[in-house]
Structure 1
Amino acid sequence: MPTDISGTKVAFLLGHGVEQAELTQPWAEVKKAGGTPVLVSPESGTITAMKGDWDHADTFDVDVEVKDAKAEDYDALVIPGGTINADTLRIDTDAQAFVTAFFDAAKPVASICHGPWILIDAGLAKGRRMTSYESISTDLKNAGVDWTDEECVVDGNLITSRNPGDLEVFSATLIEKVAAATK
């Protein structure tokens, strides 16, 4: 599969409490493949990541506030998890609109762990085949998702994975989808 995404821009939508590995590993893979990752957030300044739900990790600079971000400026979207991050993002109307614009443009969207929560609130989950962190499986099923416990699920332009243990295949699938969509 093609793995060169030179010249692409990939938005990473997240806020405080993002699971650090779910940000940093796909971010590094995008850069390694030649793409430019961009941190988009409802916050300005910096965000603080987490290791699990309890331990604060590193801080990261926000590149663009989501209220100012436009999907047409990016080739793909990554929505990392982290309980606090995902629970906050899901009710942010600017974040919902940003995610919806990627679906409307049929651009790749990759979401892991608790990240798919926002798809419910944005009205984008129903009828899709997805995976996620097990604790939100009932939420997704109740929203009309065909939920499955698999390492990585691809449904059209949507890529979902369960947890940090799936990051290698999640990141590789993201790069393949971006390469295929932009060649």
Structure 2
Amino acid sequence: MPKVLVPLAQGCEELEAVTIIDLLRRAEVEVVTAGLTDEPVTASRGTVLIADTSLDAVLDQDFDMIVLPGGLPGATHLQEDARVSDLLRRQQAQDRYVAAICAAPRVFAATGLLEGKTATAYPGALVADDVPGTRLTDAPVEVDGKVVTSRGPGTAMDFALQLVEILQGRATRDSVERDLSRNT
């Protein structure tokens, strides 16, 4: 079973975080949510999220993918946390997936993960001058090698379904998507 880490920072975008967690779990992916601190996470719209564990508790674990929800100031907190940067660099060195949505792709830019890549982000979160060597698009989701990026809350479902497909294959993605469309 694939294993995914979703770090949760104060001020993250709850729609993105919950959509990612929910759809990956529907696809039978082991999702570990980890708070930057031991405290409950108050998301950008005031929703309180309780992480499974703390980031410190999972620093030595390996993950098939690390997914960063966006939102502000959540993405800023992720970007300023050296543990997150270290985990992302280790993930890249091990040729494993990293994914980010909304403002969180700027965490990848700050750690050099977007160099030479095609990426997308929330409008204005990344500016071409700030990420030389990166091709920025306005696509809902971009996959470039092992780097996956997405625009924001409105693309969270497409983003999460793309992650399901990467981790569990097209048939599982189709099954999850079909189950979401049923009127039962």
Tell whether 2:143 aligns with 1:154. yes
Stretch deviating more after TM superposition (35-44 or 21-30): 35-44
Q: Say which is worse superposed, 16-25 or 102-111, in terms of deviation.
A: 102-111
Equivalent residues of 1:90, 1:121 under 8 A apart: yes
TM-score, normalising length: structure 2 = 0.84
**Residue in structure 2 matched with residue 32 of structure 1 by the alignment:** 26
Distance apart, 1:141 and its partner CA: 4.3
Residues 8 and 33, structure 2, Cα contact 8 Å, conserved in 1: yes
1:125 deviates by 2.0
1:96 equivalent to 2:90? Answer no
TM-superposed deviation, 1:177:
1.1
Q: Alpha-carbon deviation of 1:50?
A: 2.0
Cα RMSD between the aligned structures? 1.6
Task: Give the match for residue 180 of structure 2.
Answer: none
Query: In the TM superposition, what whole-angstrom CA distance separates every residue of 1:30-73 from its partner, at most 9, and x where no partner exists?
Result: 1100112111232113111123xxxx12x122233323423743
User: Which amino acid in structure 1 is aligned with residue 10 of structure 2?
Assistant: H
Name 1:4's counterpart in structure 2: none
Residue 47 (structure 1) aligns with: 41
Summarize deviations over 1:53-102 as a string: whole Å, max 9, x none.
xxx12x12223332342374322111000010001110111110011111
1:10 alignment partner, SS class: strand
**Does the 8 A contact of 2:4 with 2:63 survive in 1?**
yes
**Stretch of structure 1 that moved more, 70-79 or 7-16:** 70-79
Displacement of 1:129 in angstroms is 0.7
Tell me what 2:124 maps to.
135
Hey, what does 1:171 align to over in structure 2?
Answer: 160
Contact 1:150 1:161 in 2 (8 A): yes
Count of residue correspondences:
168
**Matching residue's letter, 1:28:** D
Gap change, CA 1:67 and 1:121, over 3 Å in 2: farther
1:20 aligns with 2:14: yes
Paired residues of 2:122 and 2:151 also in contact (CA < 8 A): yes
Q: Which residue of 1 aligns with 2:109?
A: 120
Change (3 A) 1:30 1:92: same
For residue 90 of structure 1, give the secondary structure of its aligned residue in structure 2: helix
SS in 1 for 2:73: helix
Corresponding residue SS for 1:137: coil
Q: Secondary structure at the match of 2:16?
A: helix
Structure 2: runs of 5 or more not aligned? 170-184
**How many percent of aligned residue pairs carry the same amino acid?**
26
Please tell me whether the aligned partners of residues 11 and 74 of structure 1 are also in contact (alpha carbons under 8 angstroms). Answer: yes
